[in-house]
């Protein structure tokens, strides 16, 4: 998942990342094999079913995350207990469920992973990673209750002062980007100039 992966290379594997293409073989309506090609009234090639006409649209999933901020102005990060990013630091978050709002999903994921009850506020940033087929939204969030506790997904949970953010041990580019954007809005004097660039650079759509 490293390196540049831009939308103009998405057609390499039926219009999507190869790992995702391997999961899209059969029609979910009738079970017949899917084909990939141009359809009338479509502006790009699509996966479709020749038997029943079903078009299998493939879109990114939304990952809802928070940057929980303590009263002292620290940002809460967790050390991940699962892959991807096992052992590295990230903000709490996860996939939005189909029956919840983005705010609800952000609150749910944060309490599940950290024990903290938060109230999401402004959006720090919105980050697209085509190679992972995700869009990550990061909310700045007030901590309004709960108590920090670890779980299998979070080996350690720490409130970091802005000066102490563990930049060299961050799990995801999107975490680096969100923390950078949060600092830019809150403590711009702390933005280091020598920090390593994210692996795939900052070529995301904002
Ligand atoms: Zn079908």
Q: Report the distance separating Cα 34 and Cα 141, nearest Å.
A: 43
Q: Is the pLDDT of residue 51 over 50?
A: yes
Q: How far away, in angstroms, is 56 Cα from ligand 1 center?
A: 9
Say how many Å lie between the CA of residue 134 and the centre of ligand 1. 26
Select from 59, 25, 65 the least CA-distant residue to 44: 59
pLDDT of residue 12: 66
Q: How far apart are the first and last CA of the chain?
A: 20
Check whether residue 85 and residue 186 sit in a common domain. Answer: yes
pLDDT in tens, 66-78: 999 999 999 999 9
Q: How many residues does the chain have?
A: 206
Rounded average pLDDT over 116-134: 96
Between vectors from CA 159 to CA 154 and to CA 160, what angle results, nearest 5°? 115
Question: Is residue 200, in this structure, part of any structural domain at all?
Answer: no
| Structure confidence at residue 7 (pLDDT) | 57
Residue 183, H or E segment: helix 173-186
Residues 31 and 70 in one domain: no
37 Cα: distance to centroid of ligand 1 (angstroms): 15
Residue 104 lies in a domain: yes
Q: What is the DSSP string of 76-142?
A: EEEEESSSSSTTSEE-SEEEPPTTS-HHHHHHHHHHHHHSEEEEEEEEEEEEEEGGGTEEEEEEEEE
C-alpha 89/C-alpha 156 separation (Å) is 9
Give per-residue pLDDT as tens, 22-38: 999 999 999 999 999 99
Query: Which of 8-12, 71-75, 142-146 is least confident?
Result: 8-12
pLDDT band at 191 (very low <50, low <70, confident <90, very high): confident
**Residue 15, pLDDT score:** 81
Q: Is residue 195 part of a domain?
A: no
Neighbours of ion ligand 1 (CB under 5 A): 27, 29-30, 32, 49, 51-52, 54
- Tokens 């939005």, located at residue: 96
Instruction: Look at the block and give the residue holding tokens 């070529």.
Output: 203
Determine the distance separating the centroid of ligand 1 and the alpha carbon of 34, expressed in angstroms.
8
Distance (Å) from CA 131 to ligand 1 centroid = 27
Distance 187 CA to ligand 1 centre (A): 54
Q: What CATH number is associated with residue 97?
A: 3.90.79.10
Considering the domain architecture, whether residues 25 and 80 belong to the same structural domain is answered as no
Distance 95 CA to ligand 1 centre (A): 27
Residue 4 has pLDDT above 80, yes or no: no
Distances, alpha carbon 27 to alpha carbons 15, 40, 98, in Å: 17, 19, 21
Does 49 share its domain with 101?
A: no
Same domain? 124 vs 36:
no
Q: Separation of 42 CA from ligand 1 center, angstroms?
A: 18
- 76 & 46 share domain: no
In terms of domains, do 48 and 112 share one? no
Q: Could you tell me which residue, 75 or 16, shows the higher pLDDT?
A: 75
State in Å: Cα 204 to ligand 1 middle.
35
Average pLDDT, the chain: 89
Domain that holds residue 181: 61-190
Same domain, 87 and 160: yes
- Asked whether residue 80 falls in the same domain as residue 52, the answer is no
């Amino acid at each position: 998942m490293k390196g540049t992966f831009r939308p103009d290379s998405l057609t390499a594997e039926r219009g999507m990342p190869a790992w995702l293409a391997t999961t899209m073989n059969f029609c979910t309506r009738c079970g017949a094999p899917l084909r990939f090609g141009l359809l009338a009234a479509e502006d790009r090639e699509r996966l479709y079913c020749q038997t029943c006409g079903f078009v299998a649209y493939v879109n990114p999933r939304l990952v809802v995350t928070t940057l929980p901020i303590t009263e002292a102005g620290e940002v809460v990060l967790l050390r991940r207990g699962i892959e991807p990013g096992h052992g590295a630091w990230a903000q709490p978050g996860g996939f939005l469920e189909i029956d919840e709002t983005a705010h609800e999903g952000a609150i749910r994921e944060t309490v599940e992973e950290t024990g903290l009850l938060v109230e999401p506020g402004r959006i720090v940033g919105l980050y697209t990673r085509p190679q992972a087929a995700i869009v990550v939204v990061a909310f700045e969030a007030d901590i309004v209750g709960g108590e920090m506790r670890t779980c299998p997904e979070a080996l350690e949970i720490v409130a970091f002062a802005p000066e102490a953010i563990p930049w060299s041990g961050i799990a995801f580019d999107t975490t680096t980007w969100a923390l950078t954007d949060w600092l830019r809005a809150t403590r711009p004097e702390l933005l280091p100039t020598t920090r390593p660039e994210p692996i795939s650079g900052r070529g995301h759509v904002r």
